[in-house]
Structure 1
Amino acid sequence: FQNQPSDRMLAASQVCKVIADHQEFFNNSVVLDSGFSILYIREAMWIEKALQIEGASFEGRQVGGVMKSALAYFEALSEMGIHANLKEISEYDFDKADYSSEVIILSHQISVPSIYWEQLSRFVERGGKLLVDGLTAYYDENAYFIMGSGFPLKDVFGGLVKEFKMVDDLYDVKLNDPDITLKAHLWAGSLIPDKGQAMAYFDDQVIGLRNDFGSGSVIWMPALFGLAARNTADYSQLAKLLETEFSDQINGLSIVFRDHHPGVLMKVLKYGEQLITVLVNKSKLEHEIAFRVHILTNPEVLFSANAKIINAQNVLLDAEGMLVIMWN
């Protein structure tokens, strides 16, 4: 512009130089797998659209509630410094022998096709952790109600649904383990525990179960916690739940935030023994980020915009700041 490079062009040239200077890394690197997978289901979206009620005013009844629920958990984990996989259920590998380091989240996926009932059971039986919320598994692939007395996932989930009640746009659910209160949206599904242990209550009714199955475990809470967090733009309590329930998996990650940072995200690339972390602060506030204790050394700044390294365990990002670090 006016024969002068714009700020964007100057920034782009810096990025190009970083890539050129570390061409071997970027040509061969992969996104570091966190072990967290948020799965959406095509049939759930199709059925959500097919059974729409004209004039529905609540997010939970509108087209998009299924995907927004999944995105809520993706965003909550991102603000914890965890890059989760977001994929359609058919893309997930259900043929491994051991899932002890892996987590699947099914948030308000109203249809779970019959082909996946055994696969989800096997995932948990082989050590995986499964978190289920909303009206997940209300229907099969043909929009048939499956949550009656013959519910095919009863043994895995640890109980049966007694009934669903429409409550309000937002309401509070008290968890006793962990001791937190979560916002929920629209419906509350009261449960009849079988082998599952009660962990959440609303209006003196059990609406959350924790169940051990095989070598793994399931948290089942038929209330729309993800969508409520997204609607209120507040993932703080959801992040507390995820941090508590999946602490072993989180502590096993190479690098992750020590605390929840709204509006901040981190992506991690790996090649050989080297990692590159890309941190972006999309909030309007400055964030000093402390990492959980890690063994990575020799942080080298590859790119910085309104951000800096304080030491190997702490970085500072101004509003709209970005920091790219290579670790050995």
Structure 2
Amino acid sequence: MDHANQSVVKEFILIGFSNFPDLQVPLFVVFSLMYLAILAGNIIIVTTIRSESSLHIPMYFFLSVLSSSEICYTFIIIPNMLANLLRETGTISVIGCATQMCLFLGFGCTNCMLLTVMGYDRYVCICKPLRYPVLMNQGLCMKLVVVSASLGFLFSILETIIIFTLPFCGPNKIHHFFCDMAPLLELSCGRNYIGETLIFLLCILVVFCSFLLILLSYLLILKAVLKIPTADGKHKAFSTCASHLIVVVIHFGCASIIYLRPQSRYTLNEDTFISVTYTLVTPLLNPVVYSLRNKDVQVALRKSLGRGAGTQKM
């Protein structure tokens, strides 16, 4: 196809929720409240874990890193989305779009890998309890976080480079509220089948392989738990994994629907609302699930609130 007489796109228009004009103000209010809740919940989790010495163990260290990553993850998308809900049209430069995509995918991939690391942590804790302090030492925990972030952003950089080396010379309206891969591939006026296949394989590597590793961890955990003679012991072992499992199912379920499917099944409005789940609902649920289902976090939160109330009285 000859693109010589076609102009090169210099900026994109984010359609977002403009197909639902009557819903834009209500959505702005709802999404703003959800975003404030995300920030408050994750900040509380991070500060509580760092301030309470009883939570200075690998499980909660990884949780605090995940919450910090979720704050950055949502900051990349939600403020711009909220601003666009109050405008007639939301524009973003090609460089801005590439940057947003790279950061969003980077933190998203990092979160997948952090959840995998958290699954491994639960496996070591339950299956090798006597060696847990040695195996999950501070140095290893830091290395696992660095490796997770490094691999996450390596994948995101590769995917962003593949997409933005495609020619964009036709329509510039992105039928989404942020720069995601599928709607940008739809806008490209040239197909790179090798690149698209590589993107799909990278998504499988991140999402599917991470989920398989988590599944393997829990199969080994299940095998170990079934050997525990008492019902209370089994319940206690399972309860330490429940919060992580809930978050894993939600996170990987949404990611699989969006990224692990044929390109021909891409539908605009459906994907826009599914994307709300993993950009708003999942980051909101993480602190809620961990605080409601974890007694150690609940106790630490009450202690922190008690100290705060005591300080105010003084």
TM-score of the two chains, using structure 2 as the length reference: 0.25
Higher strand share goes to which structure?
A: 1
Higher helix share goes to which structure?
A: 2
Q: Which of 1 and 2 has higher RCO (CA within 8 Å, sep 6+)?
A: 2
TM-score of the two chains, using structure 1 as the length reference: 0.24
